[in-house]
């Protein structure tokens, strides 16, 4: 009867201690990043009573561009962080390295789209006629 190595005797669905630590670290990192974003937004909030005040369509489209760029840059930064954490914790596992590389590619696409947001707004201005 052959002896099976202890590392291969894990039941299906059970995680190794290294993967469990990596999962916990990733969860903690995401929670810390989310709390920083939420606290920073709450700390810089000013009380104003203006509901909506836009002088022109151009100003509205500029605000839309700024929001799009901010959201895309934020998501790209999250993907970049996740990719970095995955790469560091991969430990030579080729599948984890590939997942990290895919996260890096997604971050690059996000930053590229954020850079192209002004072009999208110019196209919208042409369509609207502003």
Residue 65 contacts residue 117 (beta carbons within 8 Å): yes
pLDDT of residue 48: 63
Q: 25 pLDDT exceeds 80? A: no
| pLDDT (0 to 100) of residue 61 | 78
More confident residue, 11 or 118: 118
pLDDT at 15: 59
Who has greater pLDDT, 92 or 32?
A: 92
Per-residue pLDDT at 52 exceeds 70: no
Q: Is residue 125's pLDDT more than 70?
A: yes
Q: How far is Cα 118 from Cα 30, in angstroms, rounded to an integer?
A: 29
- 54 or 10: whose pLDDT is higher? 54
Reported as a single tens digit per residue, the pLDDT across 76-89 is 999 999 999 999 99
CB 79 within 8 Å of CB 110: yes
What's the pLDDT at 24?
Answer: 74
| Number of Cβ atoms within 10 Å of the Cβ of 110 | 20
Give the mean model confidence (pLDDT) for residues 26-54. Answer: 65
**What integer pLDDT is reported at residue 108 of this predicted model?**
92
Higher pLDDT, 46 or 7: 46
Tokens standing for 129?
């006629």
d(CA 45, CA 119): 29
DSSP string computed for the chain: -PPPPGGG-PPTTPPPHHHHHHHHHHHHHHHHHHHHHHHHHHHT----------S-HHHHHHHHHHHHHHHHHHHHHHHHHHHHHHHHH-TT-HHHHHHHHHHHHHHHHHHHHHHHHHHHHHHHHHHHT-
Do residues 37 and 71 lie in contact, with contact meaning Cβ atoms separated by under 8 Å? Answer: no
């Amino acid at each position: 009867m052959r002896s099976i190595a202890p590392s291969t005797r894990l039941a299906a669905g059970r995680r190794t201690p290294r993967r469990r630590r990596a999962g916990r670290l990733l969860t903690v990192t995401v929670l810390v990043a989310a709390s920083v974003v939420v606290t920073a937004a709450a700390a810089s909030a000013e009380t104003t009573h203006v509901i909506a005040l836009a002088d022109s369509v151009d100003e509205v489209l500029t605000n839309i561009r700024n929001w799009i760029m901010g959201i895309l840059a934020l998501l790209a930064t999250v993907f970049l962080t996740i990719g970095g954490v995955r790469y560091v914790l991969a430990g030579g596992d080729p599948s984890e390295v590939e997942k990290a590389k895919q996260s890096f590619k997604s971050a690059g696409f996000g930053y590229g789209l954020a850079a192209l947001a002004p072009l999208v707004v110019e196209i919208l201005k042409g369509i609207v006629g502003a």
